[in-house]
Amino acid sequence: MTVSATSSKDTALQQASSLIERALAGELSRPVVKSFFDEATFTASHVVHDPATQYAAIIDSVLDYDAASGRTTHESADEIIAYVRQEGLKIEWLLETHAHADHLSAAPYLQEKLGGKLAIGREIITVQQTFGKLFNAGTEFERDGSQFDRLFDDGDTFEIGNLHAAVLHVPGHTPADLAYIIGDAVFPGDTIFMPDFGTARADFPGGDAHRLYHSIRRLLSLPREARLFLCHDYKADGRDEFVWETTIGAERDENVHAHDGVSEDAFVTMRTERDRTLDMPKLLMPSVQVNMRGGRLPEPEENGTRYIKIPINAV
């Protein structure tokens, strides 16, 4: 579904905007957000909690993976677990903004240790069909989203304790990308990055720069004061520190790819040319293969060992 940012019938967007406005006005609770940055994959994971009830969600966690040895470790996830225990948080949700192509999700590990329901966008089914074919996964790999506890649609709402949350479908980077709006905080996944860095690539299978443009315009029509917590940061040229928090207003004024006034044609031309110059992420093959399964590793072969496949000359 493509929705224009100016459409007066965009009820999901209006609902998300009003949620933010009411949180900013103090009528609804505002979440506490603690972020964890993984320098190996440039990923920011966020723990979002309701200060009144201690109920919490973990957004976009990272399972550490050494590609050379094929070894997984849990340093990043254990750091989150330590924080959750120290703060006495109760995990209600493990939220994925999309099937990441640059890191493995630690959601199943966190679910085992902390509980919570695992959720992603309904279009993950499209992603599972595409990648199920690419990796020639057997019939035991279900392509119906059943690896997740909840599949969200555009306009869906949910709660984290007393916090009200809403979902916007923001495709373009992948077909399944979601943005989560929790109180006055927005988690846009891979759509937009810090104003000085720009936007997410749109050249993965199922990606589409036109759709990404419309998703970004839609996100940027949320209230200017909303806090924006990004999924990645790559340190723009001239900046020495990783930063993953900004505001909708700052993006509208300053985003180098998508500030107010950038036309769809100009954006798509820029995005397409830039994407041609980007290397594939180092962990593309393991990430996609694991994340299409909700972060679970492929089933072991008859010798008891699990394998990551690499399709040759297929991407």
Interface ranges with Fe ion (CB under 5 A): 100, 190
**CB of 16 vs Fe ion, minimal distance in Å:** 21
Nearer to Fe ion, 203 or 245 (CB): 203
Nearer to Fe ion, 92 or 190 (CB): 190
Pairing relationship of beta strands 55-59 and 90-95 according to DSSP bridges = parallel
**CB of 280 vs Fe ion, minimal distance in Å:** 12
Q: What residues have CB less than 8 Å from 262, skipping those under 6 apart?
A: none
Nearer to Fe ion, 23 or 230 (CB): 230
CB-based closest residue to Fe ion: 190
**CB of 8 vs Fe ion, minimal distance in Å:** 31
Are 97 and 103 within 8 A, CB to CB? no
Q: Is 304 left (phi over 0), alpha (psi -120 to 50) or beta?
A: left
Nearer to Fe ion, 19 or 120 (CB): 120
Distance separating alpha carbons of residues 61 and 36, to the nearest angstrom:
9
Q: Structure tokens of 131?
A: 């990648």
**CB of 63 vs Fe ion, minimal distance in Å:** 15
Indicate the DSSP class of residue 220: T
Nearer to Fe ion, 16 or 200 (CB): 200
- For 106, 135, 137, 138, 299, the CA distances from 307, given in Å and listed in that order, are 18, 12, 12, 14, 8
Cα–chain-centroid distance for residue 77? Answer: 16
**CB of 153 vs Fe ion, minimal distance in Å:** 20
- Alpha-helix runs per DSSP H in the chain: 11-24, 75-87, 107-114, 124-134, 209-219, 248-254, 264-277, 284-291
Nearer to Fe ion, 176 or 185 (CB): 176
**CB of 276 vs Fe ion, minimal distance in Å:** 18
